[in-house]
Amino acid sequence: MQRSILPRALIMKVSVIVPTYNERENLEELFSRIDKALKDYDYEIIVVDDDSPDETWKKAQELSSVYPVKVIRRINEKGLSSAVIRGFKEASGDVFVVMDADLQHPPEVIPELLKRIKEGADLAIASRYVKGGRVENWPLYRKLISKGAIMIARVALPKIRSIKDPVSGFFALKRNVVDNVNLNPIGFKILLEILIKGRYSRVEEVPFTFGTRLSGESKLKGKTMLNYLRHVYRLMKWEGEIDRLVKFSIVGLSGVAVNEGFLWLFVKMGIRKEVAVLPSTELSVINNFIWNDLWTFKDLRKGSVLRRFFQFHIAALIGVFAQLLIYWALLFLGVHYLISNLVGIGASFIVRYIFNRHVTWS
Ligand SMILES: Nc1nc2c(ncn2[C@@H]2O[C@H](COP(=O)(O)OP(=O)(O)OP(=O)(O)O)[C@@H](O)[C@H]2O)c(=O)[nH]1
Ligand SMILES: [Mg+2]
């Protein structure tokens, strides 16, 4: 349908937000391809440039005589996420699209993202990791780092565990997902921030091929994994997941006390030490289950308590296996047995927490 014959109010306006830093060479092709892709839409492009030395902002201003481009030149601020957040503030559309300037995000995918939004999604992610999506020309190590980073986020933040590419830089969203939401500009994965703090109910992923950079240089290469982990940690805190971990640890410690106490009691009662450890351990598991169910995960109780009780035992068993595996492996590598055991206990704690958080109280 031609936009000219539709009443304006019926057409959704799209704001394409493009953060840039030294992307002068890419703008012309980027704008022309966006323009083609969005020929059926009322749209604007918001370029947020951090005073690029190659004068990207100037080039964008020049091109604004040909395309509907609004240029924000930030002088004293830097950072990808804060640039996107600034773009949200400047945008006048009902739907926002966020994408890179270097054509690794093909503009031809935008109509599919918008289609999903029109069909009811609040957020549509162009995804490298759903069926049909892929990354071009990445060496194995970069793929592994990317996948590993995503896995960490999905495990640490259960809210987004079903999303395959929660760190994509290419996505579309309804304006109200982020309207009046206080997004933190520190992390550079703005989508992660939106997925945790935004207001939405339906998210969809659209496959796309993440291409090779057309021109210019990568800016994020030097950014460390540590930065990313800090971001995930902050979001865990925000979600209350850190509080949960702390509660789970306290309950675990109470379990140690229960275990030791009953072991002492049973031995005093004349039960053989080799045997007394079994009921005392089971009593500590029961103790831990009760407190975790009533306290740590009280907001996540669903269905039958027996099912949870059973799954909690499975978690405990997996924990024991993990502990022994690590213990024996480290012993084999020549590590001191007490250190080996400590690392094993740590591993057991982590697997038990993950299993319980994602299965028992999911
Ligand atoms: N405004 C602004 N834009 C930035 C900043 N850092 C990166 N960008 C832009 O954000 C987008 C993504 O950055 P890239 O360097 O392409 O990151 P990448 O795609 O992970 O890395 P490559 O695969 O090497 O390209 C590009 O459009 C950059 O120009 C920044 O500090 N401020
Ligand atoms: Mg890039």
Identify the CATH number of the domain in which residue 161 sits. Answer: 3.90.550.10
Same domain, 108 and 228: yes
Which listed ligand is nearest to 47 at the C-alpha?
1
Same domain, 259 and 212: no
What's the angle, vertex CA 298, arms to CA 293 and CA 299, rounded to 5?
Answer: 145
Q: Ligand 1: list residues with CB < 6 Å.
A: 19-21, 23, 48-50, 78-80, 83, 100-102, 104, 169, 213, 218-220
Domain assignment of residue 2, yes or no: no
Same domain, 42 and 153: yes
d(CA 35, CA 33): 5
Pick from 17, 21, 26 the residue to mutate for probing ligand 1's pocket: most ligand atoms within 8 Å of its CB.
21
d(CA 27, CA 258): 66
Pick from 220, 221, 225 the residue to mutate for probing ligand 1's pocket: most ligand atoms within 8 Å of its CB.
220
Same domain, 91 and 177: yes
What pLDDT is stored for residue 121 in this prediction?
97
Which residues form the domain of 312? 241-360
Same domain, 38 and 88: yes
Average pLDDT in the chain: 93
Residue 108 token pair: 């031809």
Q: What's the mean pLDDT in 300-322?
A: 97
Please identify every residue whose CB atom is under 5 Å from ligand 2, which is an ion: 100, 102, 104
Domain assignment of residue 76, yes or no: yes
Same domain, 232 and 287: no
Out of 17-26, 160-169, 185-194, 215-224, which region has the weakest mean confidence (pLDDT)? 215-224
Compute, in angstroms, the gap from residue 202 CA to the centroid of ligand 1.
Answer: 27
Rounded to the nearest 10 degrees, what angle do helices 80-90 and 190-197 cross at?
Answer: 60
Q: Which run of H or E residues covers position 317?
A: helix 305-332
Whole-model pTM: value is 0.90
pLDDT at 4 over 70: no
* Domain final residue, candidates 239, 269, 294: 239
Residue 246 token pair: 């702390």
Q: Do residues 322 and 351 lie in contact, with contact meaning Cβ atoms separated by under 8 Å?
A: yes
Domain assignment of residue 7, yes or no: no
Amino acid at 357: R
Compute, in angstroms, the gap from residue 20 CA to the centroid of ligand 2.
Answer: 10
Same domain, 151 and 23: yes
Residue 74 alpha carbon, nearest atom of ligand 1 = 1
Domain assignment of residue 34, yes or no: yes
SS3 content of the chain, % helix, strand, coil (to 5): 55, 10, 30
Compute, in angstroms, the gap from residue 333 CA to the centroid of ligand 1.
Answer: 42
pLDDT above 90 as % of the chain: 86
Which listed ligand is nearest to 169 at the C-alpha?
1
Residue 67 token pair: 């395309």
Same domain, 120 and 55: yes
* Domain final residue, candidates 189, 222, 239: 239
User: Cα 246 vs. chain centroid, distance in angstroms?
Assistant: 21
Closest CA to ligand 1's atom 5: 80
Q: Do residues 179 and 162 lie in contact, with contact meaning Cβ atoms separated by under 8 Å?
A: no
Domain assignment of residue 6, yes or no: no
pLDDT at 178 over 50: yes
Same domain, 23 and 44: yes
Domain assignment of residue 101, yes or no: yes
Compute, in angstroms, the gap from residue 136 CA to the centroid of ligand 1.
Answer: 17
What 3-state class would DSSP assign to 15? strand
d(CA 106, CA 97): 12
Residue 93 token pair: 């559309």
Residue 26 alpha carbon, nearest atom of ligand 1 = 27
What pLDDT is stored for residue 219 in this prediction?
57
Compute, in angstroms, the gap from residue 181 CA to the centroid of ligand 2.
Answer: 27
Residue 43 token pair: 């749209």
Res. 185 pLDDT band, cuts 50 70 90: confident
Which listed ligand is nearest to 221 at the C-alpha?
1
Q: What's the mean pLDDT in 274-296?
A: 96
Pick from 219, 221, 227, 228 the residue to mutate for probing ligand 1's pocket: most ligand atoms within 8 Å of its CB.
219
* Domain final residue, candidates 184, 213, 239: 239
Same domain, 228 and 256: no
Minimal CA–CA distance to 238: which of 277, 175, 186? 186
Alpha helices in 50-162 (DSSP H): 56-63, 80-90, 110-118, 140-156
Buried b / exposed e along 184-217 (16+ C-beta atoms within 10 A): bbebbbbbbbbbbbbeeeebbbbbbebeeeeebe
d(CA 79, CA 99): 15
Res. 2 pLDDT band, cuts 50 70 90: very low
Domain assignment of residue 3, yes or no: no
Q: Of residues 5 and 46, which shows the higher confidence score? A: 46
Same domain, 293 and 211: no
Same domain, 220 and 259: no
Minimal CA–CA distance to 198: which of 125, 143, 137? 125
Residue 216 alpha carbon, nearest atom of ligand 1 = 25
pLDDT 10s digits, 59-106: 999 999 999 999 999 999 999 999 999 999 999 999 999 999 999 999
What pLDDT is stored for residue 225 in this prediction?
82
pLDDT at 1 over 70: no
What 3-state class would DSSP assign to 98? strand
Closest CA to ligand 1's atom 6: 80
Q: How many CA atoms lie within 13 Å of 3's alpha carbon, on the beta-carbon side?
A: 12
d(CA 15, CA 108): 15
Domain assignment of residue 1, yes or no: no
Compute, in angstroms, the gap from residue 80 CA to the centroid of ligand 2.
Answer: 12
Domain count, the chain: 2
Out of 185-199, 216-230, 260-274, which region has the weakest mean confidence (pLDDT)? 216-230
Minimal CA–CA distance to 352: which of 303, 304, 292, 280? 292
